[in-house]
Structure 1
């Protein structure tokens, strides 16, 4: 009887859930799926039938994917102790499913894995709430629809015993990279999963830490996307380049240190023609960007922890400003900017090289901000995060996958106590070599009135970080003047605080 039971129960057969289920099935796990929307289950079975050439049962063996009509039936069809994976919207639906599973007979040694985009603090609260009733575990998933189907990047966290049971499953379905080169090993063939290479799944730590790391991943993603868009904007508006020409530049950049999934897909978008108008597709897409909140969570967390992440915050602000299309249209008719002189063709190659280096240096700073945020949050929460391991699992499967991440992993391998990525010899040398072009690119964009908030904030972050004496001394004097907040002195122990009995400045008398 046990042999006929499924290995895994899966709740939620939407886009991500369906593809994770098929990924599990490709890797030899029998899955029983449930969804309140039965049409999704039918779609799942139809796709599974197509991908297995219609043979859902071969040689009398049970089918690799089954469906059911209730939580009770789900538990009855899955081996005990149960491993139940959820792919449902974050928030109340997660608790609703957990409670219904408990009502259906879930036991204390059964594992429930939340793979949604939950806020990390909610995961911590849930683990406490269900303690002694079930084992609540989380795994943040990155890679979108294709990643879920053929290999995502997985960031699991929670009970170590649960991880010992889940580890072989996640290692099987995760994206893989070549150990020697750090390059992704990709194969998009149903039924023929990638089994060789290093899996992009590693245990992050206690409950909540995995979703926190994924949150920071998404914050970095926001900034990376924004900076690519700023480079595009400069090439389009200042250099007068057509989308197809910019796509060619991005493809060239993708052969070097900027090689990444985001550069690759940006080139694809820019080279695509709209079928209705025969215009470049990018020209008919409304410039109003959406967001689902994870970038905002990262920016908020950076403020709460006291860790500067200005480029991530600027990327969130850029999306917010993009939504104010009506107001921007009015402002464009009223507010004056500089006249943009057409660039001579001979100067264009130089300007493109400057943009390349600006994007590369700013990218280093964005990752420095993200990893610094994880370091400070880990210290606050008592987590022991493996930053080299985190960089390794982002090399494939996830949205920010890039050759660049191998260098980050190497940096943390060289120095496990590295305080900030900018202090690594390799990255310090890279910025020293390329910062001239970075500064010229930001200056040219500013002179021409083209907004580059992420590229420029990264430069300001770098300059502030390398400045031994910042003007915060004046700021502390101001605070003491109006609020008696006290200050420390450079010639005395820092813990000693001082206050001056300031005299109010003379104010000029203004006649009427």
Structure 2
């Protein structure tokens, strides 16, 4: 092969899968890995696709094997490794060459790199779907100039997942770090969706004494209704699986300590900077942090006792509670994205983002079709207030209250579901209680307040007691 159409650096799990996807779609690809043995092993295992793959042993060889203007995808760990790779490529590339960071980068880093005056083009790209998605069709969220997207969009749309209507789940989100920002919020929603499912699983297991097999059947049934989604689908599968080392359910043998790579935490941190309330995501991040405190939790149960059993909640009530929780969570995520668009000057297409998430990514679900339609009708409207979703919430709200009330009364931790409900109740309360907070702030700090009759910067008659 004379020259490849595109290059890729980093043949870890995701990089190798993405490279095979690109090759399979008919685009010759040159690959390089820091460990040469990995490169040759990948090429040898590529099977019929090996003829579309050009293995290289040095960065110089990689660059030489790509047709100009060159495009190179980085699939290396986020952080300093990306900066090191960009520095190594600097003397080898020209101003018309394009480097794409397709890792889980912090969008602030992508902004910094985009503004750093690199001697070549640069585009940040969020890729969701795990190894399976990377290999057969991920959801792709790019951030960079329109010209750079137009240049590589043919490849990215070809390798992306396709929605039921055949449209590609790949799009340019906006400039600079916009793609990685949207991917970050996606991951935050992913944290929350998983946590809410886990909370309902816990009620079924501990509050209602259901076996893993019984829970699997419930999840499987839900996957045929409004909750149809990848996460509900795999929840049915993991609760149905048996331990290969015994006859117990596999899920019962897994230690209750959840890992995380940090993107959910980034979402929670950034939400504070944007003054964007996302309590369901924040609760999910908190829950993972608490899960790591295994010894403390065991000591807590020994001292205060375990949650009570004997909860009686029909599966359809739990299903409705999850429907409400899911809508509220996504509504918060889209409001955060809208806030980022205003703060960073990005033209983020909210319905387009919902469409990109319809297939390939971890949070893909049937509900995203209706979310895209609702956002297209009025992108600036809170998704929970869109007529279609407002009707669903109105129908499901009694179930969410019932689940949260019964679970909390029996001592079961439901941080994400409860946080969603509390956010909703605050959003439906025209006159809240922040007037008391403003009075307190003025009392001890003379911060002033607005009056309900329109007078601004008023101070209270607190007198010498301040």
TM-score interval, normalised by the smaller of the two chains: over 0.9
Are positions 1:101 and 2:89 aligned together? yes
C-alpha change, 1:341 and 1:64, in structure 2 (3 Å) is closer
**Pairing of 1:257-406 with structure 2 (within 5 A):** 257-336=226-305, 340-343=308-311, 347=312, 350-406=313-369
Aligned with residue 476 of structure 1, among 438, 447, 458: 438
Are positions 1:160 and 2:146 aligned together? yes
CA contact (8 A) 1:395 1:405 kept: yes
Aligned with residue 451 of structure 2, among 456, 480, 489: 489
Aligned with residue 414 of structure 1, among 377, 397, 409: 377
**Pairing of 1:428-443 with structure 2 (within 5 A):** 428-443=390-405
C-alpha change, 1:316 and 1:504, in structure 2 (3 Å) is farther
**Structure 2 CA distance for aligned equivalents of residues 452 and 395 of structure 1:** 27
Cα deviation, residue 505, structure 1: 6.5
**Structure 2 CA distance for aligned equivalents of residues 214 and 341 of structure 1:** 39
**Structure 2 CA distance for aligned equivalents of residues 80 and 491 of structure 1:** 66
CA contact (8 A) 2:208 2:309 kept: no
Cα deviation, residue 503, structure 1: 4.4
The aligned residue for residue 458 of structure 2 is: 498
Cα deviation, residue 244, structure 1: 0.7
C-alpha change, 1:449 and 1:125, in structure 2 (3 Å) is same
**Structure 2 CA distance for aligned equivalents of residues 341 and 128 of structure 1:** 57
Cα deviation, residue 46, structure 1: 2.5
Deviation per CA, 1:358-410, whole angstroms, max 9, x where unpaired? 11001000000000000011101111111111000101000000001001001
The 3-state SS of whatever aligns with 1:90 is: coil
Cα deviation, residue 31, structure 1: 0.6
CA contact (8 A) 1:159 1:207 kept: yes
The aligned residue for residue 412 of structure 2 is: 450
The aligned residue for residue 168 of structure 2 is: 199
The aligned residue for residue 31 of structure 1 is: 29
The aligned residue for residue 228 of structure 1 is: 197
CA contact (8 A) 1:137 1:158 kept: yes
**Structure 2 CA distance for aligned equivalents of residues 259 and 80 of structure 1:** 45
CA contact (8 A) 2:175 2:346 kept: yes
Deviation per CA, 1:294-342, whole angstroms, max 9, x where unpaired? 000100111111011001000000000000001111111112466x353
C-alpha change, 1:159 and 1:261, in structure 2 (3 Å) is same
The aligned residue for residue 82 of structure 1 is: 70
The aligned residue for residue 135 of structure 2 is: 149
The 3-state SS of whatever aligns with 2:310 is: coil
The 3-state SS of whatever aligns with 2:327 is: helix
**Structure 1 CA distance for aligned equivalents of residues 57 and 36 of structure 2:** 8
Cα deviation, residue 354, structure 1: 1.3
The 3-state SS of whatever aligns with 1:218 is: helix
Are positions 1:117 and 2:104 aligned together? yes
Cα deviation, residue 277, structure 1: 2.6
Cα deviation, residue 111, structure 1: 0.2
What TM-score do you get using the length of structure 1 for normalisation?
A: 0.89
The 3-state SS of whatever aligns with 1:10 is: strand
**Structure 1 CA distance for aligned equivalents of residues 201 and 309 of structure 2:** 18
C-alpha change, 1:18 and 1:337, in structure 2 (3 Å) is closer
The aligned residue for residue 462 of structure 1 is: 424
CA contact (8 A) 1:351 1:441 kept: no
Cα deviation, residue 77, structure 1: 0.8
**Structure 2 CA distance for aligned equivalents of residues 150 and 427 of structure 1:** 32
* Higher radius of gyration, 1 or 2: 1
Aligned with residue 163 of structure 2, among 158, 164, 177: 177
Deviation per CA, 1:473-492, whole angstroms, max 9, x where unpaired? 01111111111111110012
What TM-score do you get using the length of structure 2 for normalisation?
A: 0.97
CA contact (8 A) 2:375 2:381 kept: no
Instruction: Give unpaired runs (5+ residues) of structure 1.
Output: 57-62, 180-196, 507-512
Cα deviation, residue 47, structure 1: 2.3
Cα deviation, residue 501, structure 1: 4.6
- The count of aligned residue pairs is 466
CA contact (8 A) 1:135 1:159 kept: no
CA contact (8 A) 1:244 1:270 kept: yes
Cα deviation, residue 419, structure 1: 2.2
Cα deviation, residue 504, structure 1: 6.5
RMSD after superposition: 1.4
**Structure 1 CA distance for aligned equivalents of residues 306 and 17 of structure 2:** 49
C-alpha change, 1:169 and 1:341, in structure 2 (3 Å) is closer
